[in-house]
Structure 1
Amino acid sequence: MSNRGAQTREKLVETALRLFRDDGFQSTTMRRIASEAGVSLGNAYYYFASKDELVLELYLVVQRAHRDQALPLLREGGSLAENLRMVLHSGLDVMTPYHGFGGAFLQSALPTTSKSSPFSAESADARAMAIDLMREALTASHQRTPSSLENQLPTLLWLTYMGVTLHWVTDSSPGQRRTRTLVDGLAPVVAKAVKLARLPVARSLVGDVATLIAKATAREEETVR
């Protein structure tokens, strides 16, 4: 892609995200995005076939910002509860400007066939970045991960983050205070669960969880192919 093409694409993304944030997802049309970006509608469709594709760009923008904000705050040798709490709160901080169109976005992303789904093949890059951030949080923490869950735990933590995000989207409390309270309570519970998973009595359950995540991942990879 030429420099001019890259600049046009970046301008479209910047304009779309601003309109999504300020006016909502449903009220923002491709025609308006093109108009405010100063490009023709045909040119806009050349770079992005639909608003769904621009939502995929939002994933990447948010995840890059989340990673940039969270990584410097990870405390080497800190507790998993502390680092996980920080990662979850920083994710909410980055998403906060987009809360207004969360409901409309959720309707678009929920269908399993939607490219906007965080579980879709098209979302693979953003999903990989999010899972890798969870891996960084685990690595920084002093708490040891059960060997049987070492590969799957970052994905499991990302799924926990997805649950927090779903709660945040539907949270109408001022500043999404209920979701912040959820994060404060959830992080130590998850850390305790990981610690308990190292006990012999939990090995069977941990093995079941690891197998379940592995099967789910395998099905996803087969779908992508």
Structure 2
Amino acid sequence: MDSKSAQTKALVLDTALGMFRSKGFAKTTMRAIAEEAGISVGSAYYYYSSKDELVLELYRESVAEQGMAASATLEHVKGFDDRLKAALNAGIDAMTPYHGFGGAFISSALPPQSVLNPFGGASTEAREDAVGIFREVIKGTKVPHFLRPQLPELLWLVYMGVVLFWVYDSSENQRRTRILIDGGAPLIAKLVALSRLPVVKPMIEEALTLKIRVQT
């Protein structure tokens, strides 16, 4: 893609984001986006086939932003709970510009099949990048070896739960979501630590086996 095409594509995305914020997702059409951007409707559809594809691109950008912010923080944070807090907060920071149309954002960028089937759905690549952030979270921590292969994806699912809470969080600056992260991360760290216990480990392994069976 040449520089002019890249600029036009970025213009369409930026225009769409502005209109989603000001007019709402449902009331914004591809035609309106094209008119606001000063391009033909055909040109808008050339770069993005639908509003859902525009939202998916915004999601990809939020994942990239989350990854960069989390990596910068994780270099200086050692404890599992603090590392998880850093990744979760970085994700919410990256999603903040989209809160006004959060429901549409989630339903478009993360359709149910992408959560239930991590190997399918339009957002698979972005999901893998997001899971990679949580692989970074567990590096250098005392997470049990039997749990390490599955834990990053489980943490991503936790993050998706936090995002769903954030979508409907009407508190100022989504304060309740931050409280959830600050209280939830240490709790998850304690559960991970407890997984080492002989009485708990078999139950965790059974749950992980069930998860794999459901996905296949």
Same fold at TM > 0.5: yes
Report which stretch shifted further, 128-137 or 1-10: 1-10
Question: Taking structure 2 as the reference length, what is the TM-score of the superposition?
Answer: 0.89
Question: Taking structure 1 as the reference length, what is the TM-score of the superposition?
Answer: 0.86
Which residue matches 1:192? 190
Q: Deviations over 1:106-130 (max 9, x none)?
A: 45567636x8999652101110111
Distance 1:60 1:111 in 2: 14
- Are residues 1:95 and 2:77 paired? no
Q: Which runs of 5+ in 1 are unaligned?
A: 220-225
Which residue matches 1:56? 56
Which residue matches 1:213? 211
Which residue matches 2:12? 12
Distance 2:68 2:117 in 1: 20
Matched pairs, number: 215
Matches within 5 A, 1:162-201: 162-201=160-199
Structure 1 residue 76 displacement after superposition: 5.2
Asked whether the equivalents of residues 52 and 116 of structure 1 are also in contact (C-alpha less than 8 Å), the reply is no
Question: Root-mean-square deviation (CA), in Å?
Answer: 2.4
Distance 1:215 1:132 in 2: 22
Q: Which runs of 5+ in 2 are unaligned?
A: none
Distance 1:31 1:197 in 2: 53
Q: Residue 58 of structure 1: SS of its match in structure 2?
A: helix
Structure 1 residue 132 displacement after superposition: 0.2
Over 3 Å counting, the alpha-carbon distance change for 1:40 and 1:6 in structure 2 is same
Distance 1:94 1:165 in 2: 11
Match of 1:149, as an amino acid? L
- Are residues 1:67 and 2:59 paired? no
Distance 1:80 1:86 in 2: 10
Structure 1 residue 6 displacement after superposition: 2.7
- What percentage of residue pairs aligned between the two structures are identical? 47
Matches within 5 A, 1:27-42: 27-42=27-42
Structure 1 residue 21 displacement after superposition: 3.0
Over 3 Å counting, the alpha-carbon distance change for 1:7 and 1:96 in structure 2 is same
Which residue matches 1:222? none
Q: Residue 121 of structure 1: SS of its match in structure 2?
A: coil
